[in-house]
Amino acid sequence: MGRVYLARSPGGHTVAVKILLADPDEGTVSDADRRRFAREVALARRVGGVFTASVVDADADSHVPWMATEYIPAPSLRELVVSQGPLPPAALHWIAAGMVEALVSIHAAGLVHRDIKPSNILLPEDGPRLIDFGISQAADITRTKATFGTVAFAAPEQARGEPTTAASDVFSLGATLFYLATGRSPYRDTGQGSAFEQLVRAAEGDLDLDGLPTGLDALILPCLTQDPARRPTAHALLDQVGAVLAERPQARGATDWLPEGWSSAIEQYGRRRTQEVDAAQRRIAPDAAATVRTPPATAHTRHLPRSPGLQPPRLRRTGVRLTVALAAAGLLTGGGVIYALQQGGEATPGAVREDLRLALVEQIAPGECTDKLPPPTFYSQDQKACFHISTAAENRMSVKQLRHVRTKRGQTGWMIQASFQDEDAKRFADLTSRAAQRRSPQNHIAIVLGDRLISAPAVTGPISGGAMEISGSFTKDSANKLAKELGAP
């Protein structure tokens, strides 16, 4: 239904600008979509607090309706669990505190979010941010016979189409915390069976709470109580998690509370996004920022940009001037907002990606990744399979920097060659030696860049010499692009 752009104000503030796409047949935004968008803007403006993404400005009456919000260059909780694995209890309480404080702000404004889930919570260094009010509702609006939200994290009454309340958000919060602790939804067999079967299990409150670490029962289980009236309020939860945080008064941000892998991933994500913003600004407006203005109301307005390489539509509202830097990839569905630049976007020439890591593979399952395999998991487009990688420190390594990165044409296609620096070369040799001692499929090494699985070759013997080759279904162009991401000049 829409698209999100990254933009800069004349004062240099970076914001995310959500717009509605015109109907492809009519060439205009429908009245129903415009009303829905205006309602989203109005509800989002009612929410304050440090743990939500605030609205900067908006114009739902513009020919192209738009809303600008704070841009948060941080990964979602879902991305972090998938790539880094579940959280220990102490770290989980820190994230829970920020999420609960966001709920307090939302409920104090008389709203119910209705779609709290790991992908709607971003995690920068200073604490979580709850985003996307696309299906929120005012608490004084009664809705029945309509199911909204994501089934895996929705409260049973929400799945049944009954009125949703602040207690429904508390259940979704508990389900999200359960996911952080275990890597899966609390509902039994989530992701299996038809959508209707999953909806029925949620409506019946069919939970499977096995695997919840000791010490988290008192926080999470009350939130998942079937009776909404017996669930704790957001204020009560804030008192509970606040007492845990008070035991470590000197601990502040992610580096104090989170495992090293999580805090490093957050830092690298933010750095990469900042570099991509700068690169996009240089590409689109190298000399001067272009002021965005309202386009004329013609049939050509329907041809909104479909790729990051195209100029975005021009927007205007009295007192607001935004400079668009880069379009985010992908369309929005169900009112969701993409708060990210294009995955795998253009890298700054000569830049070294600092989020490259190698890990031994534990399991491989055919098809896309589901809850059948525990996180971290990565899907291979080439092999049409899901790879579960090891979380043990001795079975993985982060690559500080590659050198001598270049492409080469092999017998079956293009590949990338690269060398490790001294310390990484030794760790790579140790990792390949460990892999060679394991049976298939555990003798595979996953090569992961950010949140993408690049390749997962099998290793039959130790590889010394500090060099590796990455092969796959690469064309010349895709191999060159990947090589640049890895540090090629």
Both 451 and 365 in a single domain?
A: yes
What's this model's pTM, rounded to 2 decimal places?
0.60
Question: With 90 as the cut, is the pLDDT of residue 173 above it?
Answer: yes
Q: Which residues are marked as active site?
A: 115
Both 85 and 221 in a single domain?
A: yes
Sign of the four-CA dihedral 4, 6, 9, 15: positive
- Distance CA(18)–CA(201), nearest Å, equals 34
Give the CATH number for residue 85: 1.10.510.10
Q: Is residue 337 part of a domain?
A: no
Which carries the bigger pLDDT value, residue 221 or residue 202? Answer: 221
Closest CA to 326 of 8, 26, 6, 4: 6
Domain boundary among 220, 236, 259: 259
DSSP letter at 118 equals G
Both 364 and 481 in a single domain?
A: yes
Cβ count within 10 A of residue 142: 8
Domain boundary among 231, 259, 287: 259
Q: Is residue 370 part of a domain?
A: yes
pLDDT confidence tier of residue 356, bands split at 50, 70 and 90: confident
Both 35 and 108 in a single domain?
A: no
Both 88 and 236 in a single domain?
A: yes
Both 387 and 475 in a single domain?
A: yes
Q: Is residue 335 part of a domain?
A: no
CA angle 263, 123, 250 (to 5 degrees): 60
Which residues constitute the domain of residue 26? 2-72+263-327
Q: Is residue 340 part of a domain?
A: no
57 beta partners: 68
Q: Is residue 347 part of a domain?
A: no
Range picked from 209-223, 356-370, 422-436, 459-473 for highest mean pLDDT: 209-223
pLDDT tens sequence across 73-93: 899 999 999 889 999 888 999
Both 247 and 147 in a single domain?
A: yes
Domain boundary among 214, 238, 259: 259
Structurally, the chain folds into a number of domains equal to: 3
Compute the average pLDDT of residues 306-331: 34
Both 225 and 374 in a single domain?
A: no
Using CA atoms, how far residue 375 sits from 181, 195, 410, 442, in Å, is: 11, 22, 33, 16
Both 375 and 433 in a single domain?
A: yes
- Distance CA(156)–CA(351), nearest Å, equals 48
Our measurement of the distance from residue 38's CA atom to the centroid of its chain's CA atoms, rounded to an integer in Å, reads 25
Question: With 70 as the cut, is the pLDDT of residue 56 above it?
Answer: yes
Both 211 and 274 in a single domain?
A: no
Both 241 and 308 in a single domain?
A: no
Compute the average pLDDT of residues 350-363: 72
Q: Is residue 342 part of a domain?
A: no
pLDDT confidence tier of residue 287, bands split at 50, 70 and 90: low
Phi, psi of 359 (to 5 degrees): -150, 150
Compute the average pLDDT of residues 416-445: 87
- Distance CA(23)–CA(9), nearest Å, equals 28
Q: Is residue 198 part of a domain?
A: yes
Give the CATH number for residue 45: 3.30.200.20
Both 242 and 297 in a single domain?
A: no
Q: Is residue 88 part of a domain?
A: yes
pLDDT tens sequence across 147-171: 444 788 988 998 888 888 899 999 9
Compute the average pLDDT of residues 211-229: 93
Compute the average pLDDT of residues 121-140: 71
